[in-house]
Amino acid sequence: MTFTLQLIVQENHYYPFGLELRGIEKENSPEHKFTYNGKEKQEEFGLNWLDYGARNYDAAVGRWNGIDVKAEKYYDITPYAYAGNMPTIAIDPNGEEIIITVRDKDGNAHSLKYVPGAKPPKGYRNNQFAKDMYKILNTIRKTKEGRRKINLLHKRNVRLNISQEKDLLQTSRYFPIGKADDDGAFLPGSISVNTLLGMDYGDDNKISPATGVAHEIDHAWKTAKLYTDFVESGSDPDSKEGKAWFSFVNGKDGDEEQRAVDNLERTVAEYLGDYVGRDYKKDKPTIYVVKDVIGGKGGRQRDDEKYNNLPKKIRELIEKYNNSVLFKDK
Ligand SMILES: [Zn+2]
């Protein structure tokens, strides 16, 4: 029995750039220009978003220090092994975690355990990403569906990692890499978030970072739900739960992308006053710098001052992206 969990969801969630970004990235990505000046840049802009540090998003899977070591470790766990090694899900060693990886001024990664409804832990209350993510998750939890889905990711033997998006022009993304870690907790993938950017679909139809995160949370929830149902029901591939899980893994579960749009994204968008009911295949967003990570009057407003304070190079990238989207449609 082998399968590749990475194939669960193939879309690039909120990945507005495709090929274009790859070209741009070569020239301007943090790896080349910004990483080595990362600390300075971060202080200078006060935006927290150049401070990627990590070479790739997998590094965010780690905890305090030793991040790359951890990430490497996960690669070694084959899908077969994780199915075989999964302990009884009811025995929860260190699960119950949504981990938010933040970076300090020196670029070191710190893993914060998200506590629903709480503020960031002491020492991190001035960390912009920590503040933004706590605010976003706490806001999503104010909806019934959001609370239910976050609770599953938080309470069952599941560990979700959330980190800062490393691409300058990305909003939020979900990386479906389901695996078990060494504690036996199931990792339903990870989410990366750029708390600075929202998506604009024209006619004042905007999506704030919070609604974007709600969308990604739904993907992670679905993955964790199907997998934990499968394991808790006895891990029988021929059971109803087994069939549902494997059909999802093999990408035969219909349109997961539109499902996420129609579920938690919609719920949170309605709650916040963001754009409801977008067609992800047809609607093409431009991006904008938000006033606030939460939607409604705050999040749907552009912050021109913040935008103008960005390095010229980044403003140019945003312009270039937005123009290419507009032209594409014509
Ligand atoms: Zn998606």
Give 304-309's long-range contacts (Cβ < 8 A, gap of 24+). 306/47, 306/196, 309/45
Tally Cβ neighbours within 10 Å of residue 152. 19
Span 118-141, pLDDT tens digits = 999 999 999 999 999 999 999 999
Q: pLDDT above 70 covers what percent of the chain?
A: 69
Q: How far is the CA of 39 from the centre of ligand 1 (A)?
A: 31
Q: How far is the CA of 49 from the centre of ligand 1 (A)?
A: 22
Does residue 24 surpass a pLDDT of 60? Answer: no
Span 194-227, pLDDT tens digits = 999 999 999 889 999 999 999 999 999 999 999 9
Does residue 181 surpass a pLDDT of 90? Answer: no
Q: How far is the CA of 269 from the centre of ligand 1 (A)?
A: 15
Predicted pLDDT of residue 176: 83
Q: How far is the CA of 301 from the centre of ligand 1 (A)?
A: 23
- Per-residue confidence at 299, pLDDT binned at 50, 70, 90? confident
Rounded-to-integer distance, Cα 257 and Cα 19, Å: 20
Mean per-residue pLDDT over the chain, rounded: 73
Q: How far is the CA of 44 from the centre of ligand 1 (A)?
A: 33
Does residue 251 surpass a pLDDT of 60? Answer: yes
pTM, rounded to two decimals: 0.73
Predicted pLDDT of residue 65: 22
- Per-residue confidence at 73, pLDDT binned at 50, 70, 90? very low
Q: Which residues contact 256 (CB under 8 A, 6 or more apart)?
A: 8, 9, 11, 219, 222, 248
Residue 16 to residues 21, 165, 173, Cα–Cα distance (Å): 8, 13, 10
Does residue 86 surpass a pLDDT of 50? Answer: no
Choice between 157 and 309, residue whose per-residue pLDDT is larger: 309
Predicted pLDDT of residue 157: 82
Q: pLDDT above 90 covers what percent of the chain?
A: 46
Domain locations in the chain? Answer: 5-329
Q: How far is the CA of 13 from the centre of ligand 1 (A)?
A: 4
Predicted pLDDT of residue 144: 98
Q: How far is the CA of 43 from the centre of ligand 1 (A)?
A: 32
Angle, CA 96 vertex, CA 93 and CA 101 arms, to 5°: 110
Q: How far is the CA of 202 from the centre of ligand 1 (A)?
A: 20
Tell me what the mean pLDDT of segment 288-313 comes to.
91
Span 13-23, pLDDT tens digits = 333 322 222 22
Q: How far is the CA of 156 from the centre of ligand 1 (A)?
A: 22
Q: How far is the CA of 175 from the centre of ligand 1 (A)?
A: 9
**Sheet with 97-103, edge to edge strand ranges:** 109-113, 97-103, 159-164, 186-193, 172-180
Predicted pLDDT of residue 95: 52
Predicted pLDDT of residue 78: 34
Q: How far is the CA of 255 from the centre of ligand 1 (A)?
A: 10
Span 43-67, pLDDT tens digits = 333 333 322 223 222 223 322 222 2
Q: How far is the CA of 36 from the centre of ligand 1 (A)?
A: 32
